[in-house]
Amino acid sequence: MNKVLQVPFVDLAAQYATIEEQVGEAMASVLRSTNFILGQDVDLFEKEFAAFCEAEHAIGVDTGTSALELILRAYDIGPGDEVITVANTFIATVLAISYAGATPVLVDADPQTYTIDVSKLEGAITPRTKAIIPVHLYGQPADMDPIIEIAQKHGLKVIEDTCQAHGARYKGRRVGSIGHAAAFSFYPAKNLGAYGDGGIIVTGDEQVAQRVRMLRNYGQREKYNHLVRGFNRRLDTLQAAVLRVKLRYLDDWNDARRQHAGQYDQLLASTPLVLPLEADYAESVYHLYVVRTDNREALRDYLHEQGIATGIHYPIPVHLQPAYQELGYRKGDFPVSERYAEQVVSLPMYPELTPEFIDHVVEAIKQVADQYNPEPELAVYA
């Protein structure tokens, strides 16, 4: 019997093998110092990551979700306030708004880029609106210029959810340096992942940076002098040490992802699958490579039989999640997000993916793709 080539969805072990020694040394150095909380590596990583983002300040926290929540709190956004974001995102974007006590207001996704539909923004703004959170989904930047223009017109903050887009560029600028503040996650499978949870806030706003530093550390600026009721939401020194090692490779890893995406684009062009579109303003870092088909389950089943792992990001848009029924949205409110939730399939994507693996995925797709109907015209949304 032929042994089936196994293609994982991501392969964190393959990456670890390339940096094992450096990570080991970095962690051992923290263990010897016993400076586990807000140690030197946190400070150094914050400086290095801010420089990487071409931004002034970075403040390490425990998760990407905390990063979003603490930014909102630093801007005093809470009960009675509304924050606009997009219906097709990971639930954490919206949970962070809830944790801050504010009310999430959702808009649909753009049918081409899958990021927030800028043409729907003004219709969602009310006198209670305080901020917009565009999500750079799958590694592709949202269209920031028109978002910032609308925000300025209405006096709103723009908070980038950059949890899937470390290193991506919008019109040549790094994401995370474009809005008022940005939140990054270092969940292990993100483009820059820790070996546990982690997150960071990036901002050019000195006041927000100071407030977030207090909020993540019990509301104190000096020890035992608590100016506000803060939290314990710090980035671990051990994780910062790992992230410092990995940050040196991030551009190379993102380049590899872009190359793999280019290879998929080329080899899948002749199939009826709808492939990702890189907007002309964007340099995506392909956190995920997401295609669409009306026959998703059949495709996934076949790929699974061929030893190829796939994912769905995400199967249920936020407004249809049981957790968010209280927002009062119904099926039909966000047709693009709803339709795409039934069509999207994420193919294996990680820097260490090989041409051999990509060929195997493409050949398997071609075995069955002809049975699939091409995407009906987008005019159905009109």
Q: Does 106 bind ligand PLP (CB under 6 A)?
A: no
Stretch that binds ligand PLP, among 80-88, 161-169, 214-222, 362-370 (CB under 6 A): 161-169
Element at 50 (helix H, strand E): helix 40-52
Residue number with CB closer to ligand PLP (10 or 299): 10
Element at 173 (helix H, strand E): strand 173-174
Q: Does 199 bind ligand PLP (CB under 6 A)?
A: yes
Q: Does 163 bind ligand PLP (CB under 6 A)?
A: yes
Judged by CB under 6 A, the number of residues near ligand PLP is 15
Stretch that binds ligand PLP, among 29-37, 61-69, 222-230, 315-323 (CB under 6 A): 61-69
The C-alpha angle 325, 330, 334, rounded to 5 degrees, equals 115
DSSP assignment string, 232-291: B-BPBHHHHHHHHHHHTTHHHHHHHHHHHHHHHHHHHTTSSSBPP---TTEE---SSEEE
Burial of 220 (0-12, 13-18, 19+ CB in 10 A): middle
Q: Does 239 bind ligand PLP (CB under 6 A)?
A: no
Q: Does 167 bind ligand PLP (CB under 6 A)?
A: no
Q: Does 59 bind ligand PLP (CB under 6 A)?
A: no
The minimum distance between CB 201 and ligand PLP, in angstroms, equals 12
The C-alpha angle 272, 344, 254, rounded to 5 degrees, equals 95
Burial of 13 (0-12, 13-18, 19+ CB in 10 A): exposed
Per-position x/- string for 317-356, each x denoting binding to ligand PLP as judged by CB under 6 A, each - no binding: ----------------------------------------
Q: Is residue 186 a contact partner of residue 198, using CB atoms and an 8 Å limit?
A: yes
Q: Does 52 bind ligand PLP (CB under 6 A)?
A: no
Residue number with CB closer to ligand PLP (86 or 299): 86
Q: Does 192 bind ligand PLP (CB under 6 A)?
A: no
Residue number with CB closer to ligand PLP (15 or 185): 185
Q: Is 74 helix (H, G, I), strand (E, B) or coil?
A: helix
Please, which residues have CB within 8 angstroms of residue 238's CB and are 6 or more apart in sequence?
27, 30, 31, 36, 195, 196
Contact pick of 15, 65, 271, 293 for ligand PLP (by CB under 6 A): 65
Reading the block at residue 147, the tokens are 């978002």
Q: Does 254 bind ligand PLP (CB under 6 A)?
A: no
Q: Does 187 bind ligand PLP (CB under 6 A)?
A: yes
Using CB under 6 A, list all residues that contact ligand PLP: 63-65, 89-90, 92-93, 135, 161, 163-164, 185, 187, 197, 199
